[in-house]
Amino acid sequence: MLNLAVVILNWNGEALLKTYLPSVIENSVEADIYVADNASTDGSVAFLRKNYPEIKIIQNSTNGGFAKGYNDALKEVDADVYCLLNSDVEVTPNWLNPVMEIFAENPDVAIVQPKILDLLKPDHFEYAGAAGGFLDQLGYPFCRGRIFQSLERDTGQYNDVCEIFWATGACMFIRKKVFDELGGFDEDYFAHQEEVDLCWRAQNKGYKILYVGRSEVLHLGGSTLSNMNPKKTYLNFRNSLFSITKNLPRKKALVIILFRLLLDGIAAIRFILQGKGRHCIAILRAHLSYYRQFRKMYRKREKTDFVIKYYKTKSIVLSHYVYRIGSFNELVKD
C-alpha cells in the first residue's frame, strides 16, 4: 500500500488555514498532513501548534516562493506519494481514494490531478487547473473547463480519467521518486507555471500524467495573486518562455520564441487598449528578464532525443479570440 503525505505550503495564511484546513483533516484520514511554512510573519505557526498539534510543521528559513518552498520542505517528508495542496483549497469526502487507486494500478503514472471547482461558484470549473492542463503549439497553457478567462459550467462532461499534459500546482499528486528524479521544481520560476515545466520534464522522460474526475476539490483562487495582478502576468509570460527554452528541441524552440515575441507584443497592445498599462509593462519586463536569463535556461535543457507531441491545438489564441471557441470539447471536436 502506498503511503501518502498531503503537504500544504503556507505563507502568512493563518486566515486560510483556519477556514480550509478542517476539511483536509476531516477528509484525509488515510494521509499524513504537513504544513510547510515559508517564513510567515503572521500567527500561522502558533495557530497550528495550539489548535492542531497533530499536524506536522516544516519551517522553511526563507520565503522562496512556491518552487523553493516545496523543494526545501519535501526533503523532510517521507512518503511514496506527495499531494501538493494550496492552503485555499477545500477538499471533499473520498477525494483521495480515486487518485491513490490510479497510482496503485498504474506504475507508469507519475502525476495526477483531481477536478478543480470554483469554491465561490461550485457549479463551475476554477481557473487554476480546472479539468486538466494542456498547451498549444506556441506554449500557451489552457485547460479542459477553462480557456483564458472563459470558465465552463461543470455538467459532468469531464467526469472521466484522462491523460493530460500538465497538472495544476493548486492540487497535484506526484510520486516521490519522480519528484526526486526530476530535481523538483525549477526555483528560477519562483511561482506560476513551475508545475507546467515539471510536468513537461516528466513527459519528456516518458511518464504519464492523468486527470481523475471522480476526485473533487474546491479552490478559492487568487489568495496569493489574483488572475489579473501585473506580477502574475509578468511571471506567467516569462516562465512560459523558460519552459519552451528548456523542454523543446533547439530549432523548434527558437522558432516558437520568435512567434511568441509577436503574439506577446499583441497581448501587450491589447492591455493598453483595455486601459491596463501595468500589464503591458509586465509583459515587457517578462521578456527582458527572459532574455537576460536565456543562457541559463538553455543550459538546463536535457540532452535527449526523445520528442513528444506536447500540444493539443496549434493556437489557442486564434481559436478563442478569433474563432470564439470557449470550451475544450468544442476545441477538439474534430
pLDDT tens by residue, 57-76: 999 999 999 999 999 999 99
Q: What band does 321 get if pLDDT is binned at 50, 70 and 90?
A: confident
Whether residue 61 is found in the same domain as residue 159: yes
Q: Is residue 280 part of a domain?
A: yes
The answer to whether 231 and 282 have CB atoms below 8 angstroms apart is yes
Query: Of the ranges 33-47, 149-163, 201-215, 308-322, which one carries the lowest mean pLDDT score?
Result: 308-322
User: Over 70: is that where the pLDDT of 307 sits?
Assistant: no
Do residues 246 and 212 both lie within one domain?
Answer: no
The answer, yes or no, to whether residue 227 has pLDDT greater than 70, is no
224-253 CB burial, b ≥16 within 10 A, e <16: bbeeeebebbbbbbbbbbbbbbbbbeeeeb
Q: Are residues 51 and 166 in the same domain?
A: yes
pLDDT at position 302: 78
pLDDT at 42 over 70: yes
Does 146 lie in the same domain as 72? yes
Kindly state the DSSP code that residue 305 receives in the 8-state scheme. -
Task: Let me know: does 81 contact 2? Beta carbons within 8 Å.
Answer: yes
Query: Do 237 and 187 have their domain in common?
Result: no
DSSP annotation of 228:
T
Q: Are 129 and 175 contacting, i.e. CB atoms less than 8 angstroms apart?
A: no
Q: Which residue has the higher pLDDT, 309 or 316?
A: 316
At position 44, the amino acid (one-letter code) is S
CATH number where 175 lies: 3.90.550.10
Tell me the average pLDDT of the chain: 94
Per-residue pLDDT tens for 72-120?
Answer: 999 999 999 999 999 999 999 999 999 999 999 999 999 999 999 999 9
Do 91 and 193 fall within a single domain? yes
User: Total domain count for the chain?
Assistant: 2
Domain boundary residue, one of 162, 193, 219: 219
- The alpha carbon torsion through 242, 248, 250, 252 (nearest 10 deg) reads -110
Q: Is the distance from CB of 293 to CB of 241 less than 8 angstroms?
A: no
DSSP 165: S
Q: Distance between CA 247 and CA 96 in Å, rounded?
A: 31
Per DSSP, the three-state class of 27 is coil
Is residue 43 within 8 A of residue 14, CB to CB? The reply is: yes
Which range marks the domain in which residue 114 is found? 4-219
Distance CA 114, CA 211 (A): 6
| Rounded CA separation 248/183 (Å) | 18
Smallest Cα–Cα separation from 28: which of 2, 60, 4?
4
pLDDT at 250: 86
Question: Would you state the pLDDT for residue 249?
Answer: 87
64 and 123 part of one domain: yes
